[in-house]
Structure 1
Amino acid sequence: MRFLAILLIFLSICWQSTGQQSFSFHKTEVEPSTKKHFKIPVTDGKDSTFIPITVFHGSKPGPVLGITAGIHGYEYPPILAAQHLNQKVDPQSLSGTIILVQIANVPAFLDRSPFVNPIDNKNLNRSFPGKKEGSITEKMAHILTREIIAKSNFFVDMHAGDAPEDLRPYNAWYQSDALPEASIKGQEMALAMGFDYSIVFNISKERLEKPSLYCSQEAFHRNIPAVDIECGRLGIPGEEEADIIVQGIFSLLGHLDMLPITRTTAKKPVIIAKRSTTKSKSTGFFYTDKKAGDTITTGEHIGYITDFFGKKLEDITASQDGMILYMIGTPPINTGETIMNIGAFPSAMNKK
């Protein structure tokens, strides 16, 4: 008994020396050096779903990093990356806390539904900050805002090219003169992750006063440094892309001093601060020999659209010099849809 008492005193002293306390999440205490899984129920009174979340609570004090995967349920590499992180992150080595949303949009994932929640046909990434009393997608956004975003000191939302979207990997951070500290920290986060290309999302003060709509932008609206990841294409569950995401998250954890990872000088990405979007004026078939990542020049012919009998309706040309960040990678096209998004290289921006 005396030995047991001494052991308890010793463990108590060790615990106190770290200064780490339990982390409260969804009315549950997560003890230091542990992880706990949660299935948060969501219902609108008619339909129901859940959000699977893992909380890693470290052995030492540190920041709270919120991470979401599966806002769009057909974007598989981020979802696979979250599954890998669930196995690879050791809470005993962690300083601080990670709140990892394994799949934000379970109905879309299980129904293999691109872009929208099949229950109410709404896009979760156009629904933030959500509504406590609303449709099931609006309720999902409300829970993610309240339970994850609002509790985070830093935030990452992970995406990929959905079913029809060809995309080259990049990340992005939010920037606004109205929120300089969050902007600088967001930039530092993005540049530490090791992506070849980083995009600047410039947000005006006027935009900050409107509903965020986007998951990561909701974090920024709350003065939380926020980064987007885009890695994966055409709804393909690529393990290579999942590994790139996992590596980026671990690099970020080292940057935030949340894991004892030896910092290496991250390669400097190409920073893209200007983008242009080309939209379709027609409905029918889209033909192109271009792909995401291709470099194009202003006025270059990049494809054409025909009607359902093969009659050409319009030619598509490049709106600026730069690189195709993402584009429609399948034949169907509707009037008003985005055909491609082009990022201007810094040298091209300087010529404007």
Structure 2
Amino acid sequence: MLEIGTICAEAGEKKTGWLEIEGGGQKLPLTLICGAKEGPTMMISAGVHGAEYIGVQALSELSRELDPKDTAGNVICLHVANPSAFRDYVRFFVPEDGKNLNRVFPGKKDGTLSERIAWTITEKLQSKADYYIDLHAGDTSEEVMPFVYYNVAAGEKIARVSANMAMAADMEVRASSTATTGAYSSACQRGLPAILMERGGGGKFTDSEVQAYKRDVKNIMIRMGLLSGEEVHTVQQKNVTRAEYLEAETDGLWYPVFSAGDTFAGGAVLGTVRDIWGNLLREYRADYPGIVLYQTVGLGVKTGDPLIAYGEYADR
């Protein structure tokens, strides 16, 4: 049996419903799949950022397609973790308090809405899981190459299991991370192996991206013992163990040189920030040869905005 809040699924059942946020104000949409066979529990979330749609659509389809009779263990699907941002097409933040939900985990029981959402996810959902997948995409002003983060800041065992999950994803790049306050990285700190996956962006989704995400998740479920079958891989995955995250040092107009997934030489110009008349304000160069993981594609930026993230292959 799998029971969360008022939703209860017996062995071989699939149930849908709502989980109220601690302290009220919002409800989270869930699907619970209780497999007919014994096995681990996997949690999958989407919509931590409201305008990242590929994961939301992929999880909606996947939750309908998964058959409890073919599942060993349980699957907890959190369809939209940030409901008001999803409803109002708000990028990055929870509208009610202006906080980035993926920076406030594990949250606070009596905090602001973002903190109470994070606390509810941590205590009511992640606490029941053996493995956790968080689905992301580029937001309205971002483009992202398909890649997966695994955390190396929570000890060797969690890093090893999380890396194994990451390697099951049909993605070109897996990147190590030492973050601690995101949904997946906070979970790792508490002993829950977890990964964060990225695909697409620009506030849109395509069927090919959705199908690819579903393939990623099914591969991981096969590897971790929830589904039978063979993993499907169409690309050779490489490991990125060093990454740089560049932010705007001044307000202006951002002009990236490359696209997400492009590789470049050390010292290459990655982009420039200019004023409204076209005068150069800042130039951003690569410290080493690497690959563009994601970048801002919006024209206007302000000081502190993320511009570009790039990484270096471990086996370069």
TM-score of the aligned structures, taking structure 1 as reference length? 0.85
- 2:65 alignment partner in structure 1: 88
Give the SS at the match of 1:169.
Answer: strand
For residue 76 of structure 1, what is the amino acid of its counterpart? Y
Aligned counterpart for 1:334 among listed residues 294, 299, 302: 302
Asked whether 1:38 is paired with 2:38, we answer no
The verdict on how the C-alpha distance between 1:164 and 1:28 changes in structure 2, with shifts beyond 3 A counting, is: closer
Give, in whole Å, the separation in 1 of the partners of 2:199 and 2:213.
7
1:320-331 pair list within 5 angstroms: 320-331=288-299
Asked whether 1:101 is paired with 2:69, we answer no
Contact map agreement 1:114 1:163 (CA 8 A) in 2: yes
Contact map agreement 2:7 2:15 (CA 8 A) in 1: no
Give, in whole Å, the separation in 1 of the partners of 2:59 and 2:163.
23
For residue 172 of structure 2, what is the amino acid of its counterpart? D
Q: Which moved more, 1:331-340 or 1:161-170?
A: 331-340
| Bigger radius of gyration | 1
- How many Å apart are 1:179 and its aligned residue? 2.4
- How many Å apart are 1:88 and its aligned residue? 1.0
- 2:220 alignment partner in structure 1: 252
Q: Residue deviations 1:1-29, cap 9 Å, x none? A: xxxxxxxxxxxxxxxxxxxxx22221543
Give, in whole Å, the separation in 2 of the partners of 1:295 and 1:49.
42
Contact map agreement 1:288 1:302 (CA 8 A) in 2: yes
Give, in whole Å, the separation in 1 of the partners of 2:231 and 2:249.
49
- How many Å apart are 1:302 and its aligned residue? 2.8
More strand by share: 2
Q: Residue deviations 1:238-285, cap 9 Å, x none? A: 222111110011111111121122356786410111111222222111
Q: Residue deviations 1:226-249, cap 9 Å, x none? A: 111011122222222111110011
TM-score of the aligned structures, taking structure 2 as reference length? 0.94
For residue 95 of structure 1, what is the amino acid of its counterpart? A
Aligned counterpart for 2:44 among listed residues 28, 52, 67: 67
Give the SS at the match of 2:221.
Answer: helix
Instruction: Name stretches of at least 5 consecutive residues in structure 1 with no aligned partner.
Output: 1-21, 204-211
- 1:181 alignment partner in structure 2: 157
- 1:12 alignment partner in structure 2: none
Asked whether 1:120 is paired with 2:97, we answer yes
Contact map agreement 1:36 1:55 (CA 8 A) in 2: yes
The verdict on how the C-alpha distance between 1:267 and 1:281 changes in structure 2, with shifts beyond 3 A counting, is: closer
The verdict on how the C-alpha distance between 1:335 and 1:54 changes in structure 2, with shifts beyond 3 A counting, is: same
CA RMSD after TM alignment: 1.8
- 1:230 alignment partner in structure 2: 198
- 2:172 alignment partner in structure 1: 196
- 2:3 alignment partner in structure 1: 24
Give, in whole Å, the separation in 2 of the partners of 1:273 and 1:84.
33
Q: Residue deviations 1:114-148, cap 9 Å, x none? A: 00011221111011111111111111111100111
For residue 241 of structure 1, what is the amino acid of its counterpart? E
Contact map agreement 2:243 2:309 (CA 8 A) in 1: yes
Contact map agreement 2:4 2:125 (CA 8 A) in 1: no
- How many Å apart are 1:347 and its aligned residue? 4.2
Contact map agreement 1:44 1:134 (CA 8 A) in 2: no
Aligned counterpart for 1:129 among listed residues 92, 95, 106: 106
- How many Å apart are 1:297 and its aligned residue? 1.5
1:201-280 pair list within 5 angstroms: 201-202=177-178, 212-263=180-231, 268-280=236-248
The verdict on how the C-alpha distance between 1:306 and 1:42 changes in structure 2, with shifts beyond 3 A counting, is: same
The verdict on how the C-alpha distance between 1:263 and 1:293 changes in structure 2, with shifts beyond 3 A counting, is: closer
For residue 139 of structure 1, what is the amino acid of its counterpart? R
1:290-301 pair list within 5 angstroms: 290-301=258-269
Q: Residue deviations 1:140-191, cap 9 Å, x none? A: 1111001111111011111111111111011121124x62222211111111
Contact map agreement 2:170 2:232 (CA 8 A) in 1: no
For residue 307 of structure 1, what is the amino acid of its counterpart? D
Instruction: Name stretches of at least 5 consecutive residues in structure 2 with no aligned partner.
Output: none
Q: Residue deviations 1:61-107, cap 9 Å, x none? A: 10010111000010010011111112111111111000010111110
Contact map agreement 2:7 2:17 (CA 8 A) in 1: no
For residue 323 of structure 1, what is the amino acid of its counterpart? I
Give, in whole Å, the separation in 2 of the partners of 1:121 and 1:66.
26
Give, in whole Å, the separation in 2 of the partners of 1:260 and 1:299.
47
